[in-house]
Structure 1
Amino acid sequence: MSVEASLRSPSTPARGGFAATAGWGVYCACSWTWCIGMFLPVILLGRFGWAGFLAFAIPNLIGCVGFGYVFDANRSRRFATCHPLAIRWFSLATIAFQVFFIGWTSGMFVFAPDAASAADPAAAGVARDVLVWPVLGVILTWTAGAAALSARGDLFWRWFAVLAAVTSGVLFLVALQRAGGLPAGPAPEDGAPVSGIVPLMLLGFLACPALDATFHRARQRAPSRHAFAVFGVVFAMMLVFAATTYDGLDPDRILPALLPLAIAQWTLQLVFTIGAHIRELAVLPSGRLGRGGELLAAIAVGSVLGLPGIADERMYLLFLGLYAVPFPMYVIAAVINGPGRSLSTRWIASALLVSVAVSPLGWLGFIENRTLFLLPLAALAAIAGWAIGRMARRRPVTA
């Protein structure tokens, strides 16, 4: 990123011309194409139609592209130096989320989709008992592959990103051809109001890029801030690709034709994202467990939660809540606290306690799809972040 650059060589200039700028932009697009961008559009299209997709995609693109223009290289270094703990936890949570998604989707779509999604207790028992080992095998294989790549240098990762983006583009074109164009996504007649999700989408996607270590690496290494404009173009393609895998009028028609393409992209992108964040953990200051211990803990949590019988859409949405409340709350507090000032563990704990206190609103809004409950959730998260930042600002800076 990053913190290593921030602490060891703060004056190292970015090098390269247009190729390096474009390469870093593509790198960010691939590192940010998580299981959120590859699957949440499907859920939102099912719940809200294309309005839900736009409520997700527009803040996402604005927040991430805006990061590259709001943060220059020096500001990125200062932020990364002051907030390594939050950035480290962001990477650990992201790794755990991707590992969970590997387990969930391999059980649901690859090995035994009927058993893995069955409501019948006997079938669910088969999924839990029979599919555990194959699912764990996929998790360990993909994660080990990502870890093996994490030691490579910047040039490798930029070329890997280009390969991943080109492959995703080809898969997208094939998907469009098979689907006959963009699929229908009518909003359900009795669906929840999409307006309820907009403030939380804005809060999450405007704030979370500031905690992404791969973004800080790119902002410090890219010759131009326009790398993030390149990001916007490539990432928009990734989001539309995800949207093509859903057809609200005839899901049974489109799923068999496009599922192999989606799985191919998931495989490539999940390995990329996990590897990129493992790479960042190698240069971020570690906690009490050490870098290896924290990484193994994140993988273990994601693996257990991704097992058949445990993993489902609710668990996916609970993971998503991390990027909607506690992480944005921290970023707001950090901004209010002021540049060059760290937030002590006391204030981090305060943000976590507030997040737990307001979590029932998140459950009602995300899990039960009563989206109007997300309006006070977004307001409380923003107000709490502001209040924590104000209180921290009044006190001397502590470790």
Structure 2
Amino acid sequence: MFLPILLLRWWGWPGFVAFAVPNILGCVAFGYVFTPETSRRFVARYAPSIRWFAWVTIAFQSWFGSWADRRLGMQGLLGTSVNWADLCRLLPLLFLMFPGSGRFWMIAGTVCTAASFVLFSTNGLGALNNPPVVGTMTPMSLAWAAPFMAFGFLLCPVLDPTFHRALQQSPSRHSFAVFGVAFAAQLLFAASTFNAASGLMFVAWPIAAQLILQTTFTMCAMVSVTSPAALRSWTTAPAWLPKFIGRPSWAGFASVLALPIVGMALGRFLLDLLTAITVDVPVMMPASELLASVSSLTSAGEATYMRCLGFYGIIFPAWLLLKLRRVPAAVAWPAIFVAAAAAERGMVGARTSFLLVSLGVIVIAALWQSDNLIKEPEIAIEDGRSQP
């Protein structure tokens, strides 16, 4: 919900459109490119990567919710002293051992979508009444960034486990077209919160409620798909997963309860540390003053936010493309590293021409052909099991 704000600040509505169109098309196209059977085969083959996608998303959403509370002034907007954001971030723990049925998630998704529409109507059109046409960056810089955004947002849904679950349990693929319409409305809601004077969001309780709703639902959905109970049902369950995990027992629940708590806490600490070291502060500043300085600088959090988006902009989609092309690991991983470094320069350093360099590195690697490198043999999928 925050990326549209940055794009409107940088490029006005052209930047928002360059982001929204491939994002919506990628979500809708997923339902028409895959069938329930091909989705099951894809999940069976690329299960580790799909799990990594989910775990990164959980950590990202946990950090973003906390950052939005502290940096964007969202605390206290719901008319209570209770920090509902932190309270709601504990909710995904309930889905560790009890991931919920397909019917449950269909109802939950419908309720959350309806709630978002209510919050949208309560908040009003906001920036949609007078949309900014230009931003702080040049139109040419958007021309460099647009292909990069299209690449990431068109491919990322393929690794999203919640998309695969929805497709496998959906009565019709046309439900993804309906989802596309609802998703477009969500993006417009995000755009309506843009405050041209500050370059951030309007601070109001419907916006705070929407942020909490969105981050909590995303985390719950991702946790439910990669919970121990769900992992046990995957055909390629990790070898390290204990045998008793996946059964609804309190002993199993207690044994894994600490894992997400430690993981989320560590992820938020590391992301805050990354935020701290990106701030331009005097080298000899005391640690207490350094942390106080970091907490007051929104731009530092935005840099961390953009680095997190790098997973979805280049790392995950690049890995998927190179894997589908069966590019050798000796070529794929160095290419992803170079592409990620160029993307860092383009997204955080505001030199968007580097984004085209990043994308070009991946395209060249995807077209790699050499008889001197041994390619991985293709894995045949039969009855949901991998065979060499």
What is residue 313 of structure 2 aligned with on the other side?
Answer: 324
What is residue 355 of structure 1 aligned with on the other side?
Answer: 336
Residues 1:388 and 1:163: Cα distance change in structure 2 (over 3 Å): farther
Q: How does 1:118-267 map to 2 (within 5 A)?
A: 141-149=87-95, 151=98, 152-176=100-124, 179=126, 181-188=128-135, 191=138, 193-248=141-196, 250-251=197-198, 255-256=202-203, 259-267=204-212
What is residue 268 of structure 2 aligned with on the other side?
Answer: 303
* SS at 1:86 equivalent: helix
More displaced 10-residue stretch of structure 1: 154-163 or 283-292 = 283-292
Aligned residues of 2:19 and 2:149 also touching (Cα < 8 A): yes
C-alpha deviations, 1:77-114, integer Å up to 9, x for none? 1100000000000000000110110111111134789x
What is residue 218 of structure 2 aligned with on the other side?
Answer: 273
Aligned residues of 2:68 and 2:74 also touching (Cα < 8 A): no
Q: How big is the shift at 1:211?
A: 0.5
Provide the rounded CA distance (Å) in 1 between the counterparts of 2:239 and 2:369. 23
Residues 1:298 and 1:229: Cα distance change in structure 2 (over 3 Å): farther
Aligned residues of 2:25 and 2:154 also touching (Cα < 8 A): yes
Provide the rounded CA distance (Å) in 2 between the counterparts of 1:174 and 1:366. 33
1:65 aligned residue (10, 28, 31): 28
> Structure with the greater relative contact order (CA < 8 A, sep ≥ 6): 1 or 2?
1
Aligned residues of 2:26 and 2:153 also touching (Cα < 8 A): yes
Provide the rounded CA distance (Å) in 2 between the counterparts of 1:354 and 1:55. 25
In structure 2, what residue type is equivalent to 1:208?
C
1:82 and 2:82 matched: no
Structure 2 stretches of 5 or more lacking a match?
A: 232-236, 246-255, 273-290, 380-386
Q: How big is the shift at 1:271?
A: 0.9
1:376 and 2:357 matched: yes
Structure 1 stretches of 5 or more lacking a match?
A: 1-37, 114-133, 338-342
Provide the rounded CA distance (Å) in 1 between the counterparts of 2:199 and 2:143. 29
Residues 1:183 and 1:170: Cα distance change in structure 2 (over 3 Å): farther
C-alpha deviations, 1:44-85, integer Å up to 9, x for none? 000011011001000001111101100011110110000000
**For the aligned residues, what is the CA RMSD?**
3.2
Q: What TM-score results when the alignment is normalised by the length of structure 1?
A: 0.73
Higher share in helix = 1
Q: How big is the shift at 1:296?
A: 4.5
Aligned length: 329
* SS at 1:225 equivalent: coil
Residues 1:190 and 1:318: Cα distance change in structure 2 (over 3 Å): closer
Q: How big is the shift at 1:384?
A: 2.6
Q: What TM-score results when the alignment is normalised by the length of structure 2?
A: 0.75
